[in-house]
Amino acid sequence: MIGVPLLVRGEVLGVLHVGTLAPRTFTDADAELLQLVAERVALGLHVRLYEQERRMTETLQRTFLPESLPEVPGLRLTSKYLPATDPGIGGDWYDVFVLPSGVLALAMGDVSGHGLRAAAVMGRIRNALRACALEDENPSEAVNRLDRLMELLDVTEIVTLLFGIVDTELSEFRFVSAGHVPPLVIKPDGQSSFADDDWSNPPLGIGHYHPFREHIVPLEAGTSFLLYTDGLVERRDESLSEGLERLRGVSAPMRLSPNPAEAIESAIRSLLDGREPADDIALLLVDLEAQSSGIDLRIAADPEALVTVRRASRRWLSDLGVPRRVSDDVITAVGEAGANAVEHAYGPMGGWLHVLASCEGDTIRVTVSDGGRWRKRHSARGRGSTLMRSVMDSVEIETSDAGTTVTMRLRLPGR
Amino acid sequence: MSELASLSLERHRSIVLAGVSGEIDLSNAEDLRNRIARWVINDDVALILDFTDVSYTDSAGINLLFDLSARLREHGQGLCVILPADSQPRRTFAIVGVGEQIPIFETAADAEKWAGGAPATRPLREGDVAHEG
């Protein structure tokens, strides 16, 4: 019997044995020939084992990434995930979810290592972070809690994380970076800068007993910001700051691009410059729409649509620079008109709701239309109608077979 | 946006304090009303609704108030609301005259003082102990 090792890059996968039925002596030439065969077999085995793990890792990882990104009026979210081909999929992840108060939570993280273990650890941390954020919406508090959990979660890997929230008025992005690459902010004038480059917080789970420091990025209409993992900027032959500088250089076209997915891909292509990605790349682009000139919102007439209508109204009125008190009044009126349509326009099959708003000169004009017929006894329904008429200068209700349209006007004081 | 408003419920000496924070509209008013109403028991003397952290309410929130008020009145129980002076709910309530039927206070202390006096409107029952001194 003769045996030769099945070797791939110095690692023994097994031994290839050959026996004979008739007695004979194996020569060195036989061994050499068998070694040649073993090399082929080892390579094939390796590819199969590797492929199998890769498929499992990919499947596992996909279940931890959001299937779709939430819809937030005034915001556009685009994500991209590019797994590394070699040395295998890593533990990068991103997460986007809306917290009970309506604030938008964004996470971008990186678990050191590759393969199944990294993906599994990433899943644990992702779920724990969601739980922590639900307990306390302050990013620093959520990350402090998560940090304390690391040992309990049996995480020994180095984990970097960027976690932050965008408030419902879309006025700021408040975040904590635990040793993660800094967010890149692209201003409406095309100038880009990194939001936090003092690296004041260490990665998670290294026995850090001081609270994680928070940073605040003030947002304005037309601003974009980018969360990413270091695979996007790291090259073996240069420093991280050089990589960051290169990212800054190619970032401007991503802001409010008509085709954000393509703009991201083109930025990645120019950063990789023909190389294979050495690590996973995860990327999340947040665009704040340019100043809204009005509202044109058509949605399903469900009770849940009302909050979307209010958010869109609040943002528009804030862009207009309307004082809080007046803005509250307009939102009250729009809310009542919307609630009337949701409650009374349609039967059980439901329908749509169309909100149009604009400001002409010193006068705000809002129309709320539906395609149903308000049931008569509700048409001038007491409180909702009283509220609309009290806070707006004029309220007209037109009903036809095609539906009902409420038109409301308000002259803005001091304009 | 599964939960637009959150609710906390506690009871101190037969007074129920229901704290709502967030926004109240057609999508959650009925659920909030049911959760609050289920918490109130026969022995309670009053319900205080703390709306300090309610940033918005529509007429569904007003219906919730009147509905709870009517149910409690049937049992001789009182209802009042805590609301800061300058807020969307306060203005909305003022327009439809909520204050004429339901007492509105700006501080928890005032509301509790009122609620503590509310038993006067409650008929005496067996087991009631008169305070001495």
pLDDT tens for A306-365 read 988 998 898 889 888 899 999 999 999 999 999 999 988 888 788 999 999 999 889 999
Which of A62-66, B38-42, B129-133 has the lowest average pLDDT? B129-133
pLDDT exceeds 90 at position A13: no
Q: What is the pLDDT of residues A26-55, one digit of tens each?
A: 888 888 888 888 888 888 888 887 788 778
Identify from A75, A166, A304, A388 which residue to disrupt to test chain B contact, counting B C-beta atoms within 10 A and taking the largest count. A304
- For residue B59, list chain A residues with Cβ-Cβ distance below 8 A: 336, 339, 383-384, 387
Helix (H) or strand (E) holding A63: helix A28-64
In sequence order, what E strands does chain B have?
A: 5-12, 15-24, 46-57, 78-82, 104-105
Domain boundaries, chain A: 2-58, 65-288, 294-411
Q: How far apart are CA A160 and CA A282, in angstroms?
A: 13
- Selecting from A102, A307, A383 the residue whose C-beta is nearest the C-beta of B62 gives A383
- For residue B60, list chain A residues with Cβ-Cβ distance below 8 A: 339
Q: How far apart are CA A216 and CA B18, in angstroms?
A: 33
For chain B, say whether A401 makes contact (Cβ under 8 Å).
no
Pair A75, A166: CB distance under 8 Å: yes
Mean pLDDT of A149-177: 90
Mean pLDDT of B8-37: 94
Q: How far apart are CA B61 and CA B20, in angstroms?
A: 11
- For residue A332, list chain B residues with Cβ-Cβ distance below 8 A: 58, 88, 91-92
Mean pLDDT of B30-47: 93
Q: Considering only residues B65 and A43, tell me which one the structure prediction assigns the higher pLDDT.
A: B65
The CATH homologous superfamily for domain B5-118 is: STAS domain (3.30.750.24)
Pair A140, A213: CB distance under 8 Å: yes
Q: What is the pLDDT of residues A69-127, one digit of tens each?
A: 988 878 899 999 988 876 677 789 999 998 877 889 999 999 988 888 888 999 999 99
Pair A103, A168: CB distance under 8 Å: yes
CATH code of the region A65-288: 3.60.40.10
Q: What is the pLDDT of residues A261-275, one digit of tens each?
A: 999 999 999 998 888
C-alpha distance across the termini of chain B, in Å: 54
- Selecting from B22, B56, B59 the residue whose C-beta is nearest the C-beta of A310 gives B56
In sequence order, what E strands does A143-246 have?
A: 159-166, 172-178, 184-186, 192-194, 214-218, 224-228
Structure confidence at residue A397 as a pLDDT band (50, 70, 90): very high
Nearest to A251 by CA among A240, A264, A242, A262: A264
pLDDT exceeds 80 at position B120: no
Measure Cα distances from B125 to A328, A395, B13, B43, B82 in Å: 46, 52, 16, 10, 29
What are B13's strand-pairing partners? none
Domain boundaries, chain B: 5-118
Mean pLDDT of A381-396: 90
Quick one: CA dihedral A193, A199, A203, A209, positive or negative? negative
The reply to whether CATH 3.10.580.10 applies to domain A294-411 is: no
Mean pLDDT of all residues in chain A?
A: 88
Q: How far apart are CA A390 and CA A412, in angstroms?
A: 15
Helix axes A115-135, A139-149, angle to 10 degrees: 130
**Residue entry with tokens 């050499």:** A32
| DSSP for A149-170, written as a single string | HTTTTT--S-EEEEEEEE-TT-
Residue B60 to residue A339, Cβ atoms within 8 A: yes
- For residue B22, list chain A residues with Cβ-Cβ distance below 8 A: 100-101
Structure confidence at residue B4 as a pLDDT band (50, 70, 90): confident
Q: What letter does residue A253 receive in the DSSP assignment?
A: G
**Residue entry with tokens 């329908």:** A351
Structure confidence at residue A378 as a pLDDT band (50, 70, 90): low
Structure confidence at residue B67 as a pLDDT band (50, 70, 90): very high
For chain B, say whether A329 makes contact (Cβ under 8 Å).
yes
Estimate to the nearest angstrom the gap between the alpha carbon of A372 and the chain centroid. Answer: 37
Pair A351, A371: CB distance under 8 Å: yes
- Residue B124's pLDDT is 43
**Other CB atoms closer than 10 Å to residue A20's CB: what's the count?**
10
**Among residues of chain B, what percentage have pLDDT more than 90?**
76
